[in-house]
C-alpha cells in the first residue's frame, strides 16, 4: 500500500505546470496575439493581426508572416490569404496597401478593400 501511495504521489508531482519546450527551428518564433493592432484607419475602422505563421528566408533568417482582419464598427472582416511581415498603409478611406511576404521577403503589393477585406494585386 505504501508503495502504491508513493507511486501515486510521484506520478502527480510530474503533472505540474511546465513551460513548453522550444525548438530552435522556425516554430520557435512567437505568434502575435489576437490583440495586435496594426493600424487605425479611422475612429471606427482598424486593422489587426490575428494569427501568424513562422517562416525562414533563404539566408536562414526567421520571421513571422501575419494575417490581418478589419474591425469596422461592429463587424469583423477577415483578409484572406495575405500573409505579411509589415504594417499596412492607408491609400484612401476604403483601401490600404501592404506587400505579401513569401519566405520572409516582401513580394507583390496588394490593395485591401476595407469594406470587403478582399485583397487585389496592385497593377492587376
Instruction: Report yes or no on 1 lying in a domain.
Output: no
Residue 7 lies in a domain: no
Residue 96 lies in a domain: yes
Domain tally, the chain: 1
Position 78 in a domain: yes
pLDDT in tens, the chain (124 residues): 554 444 443 444 444 443 333 333 333 334 445 568 999 999 999 999 998 999 999 999 999 999 999 999 999 999 999 999 999 999 999 999 999 999 999 999 999 999 999 999 998 6
Residue 8 forms part of a structural domain = no
Domain extent, residue 92, equals 27-121
Closest CA to 28 of 59, 64, 58, 57: 64
**Angle (CA) 22 28 39, round 5°:** 140
Q: Is residue 17 part of a domain?
A: no
Identify whether 63 is part of a domain.
Answer: yes
In this structure, is residue 15 part of a structural domain?
no
Q: What pTM was computed for the model?
A: 0.70
Amino acid at each position: 500500500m505504501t508503495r502504491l501511495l508513493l507511486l501515486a504521489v510521484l506520478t502527480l508531482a510530474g503533472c505540474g505546470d511546465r513551460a513548453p519546450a522550444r525548438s530552435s527551428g522556425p516554430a520557435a518564433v512567437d505568434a502575435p496575439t489576437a490583440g495586435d493592432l496594426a493600424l487605425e484607419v479611422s475612429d471606427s475602422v482598424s486593422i489587426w493581426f490575428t494569427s501568424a505563421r513562422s517562416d525562414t528566408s533563404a539566408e536562414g533568417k526567421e520571421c513571422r508572416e501575419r494575417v490581418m482582419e478589419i474591425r469596422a464598427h461592429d463587424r469583423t472582416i477577415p483578409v484572406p490569404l495575405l500573409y505579411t511581415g509589415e504594417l499596412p498603409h492607408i491609400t484612401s478611406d476604403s483601401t490600404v496597401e501592404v506587400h505579401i511576404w513569401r519566405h520572409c521577403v516582401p513580394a507583390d503589393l496588394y490593395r485591401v478593400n476595407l469594406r470587403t477585406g478582399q485583397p487585389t494585386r496592385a497593377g492587376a
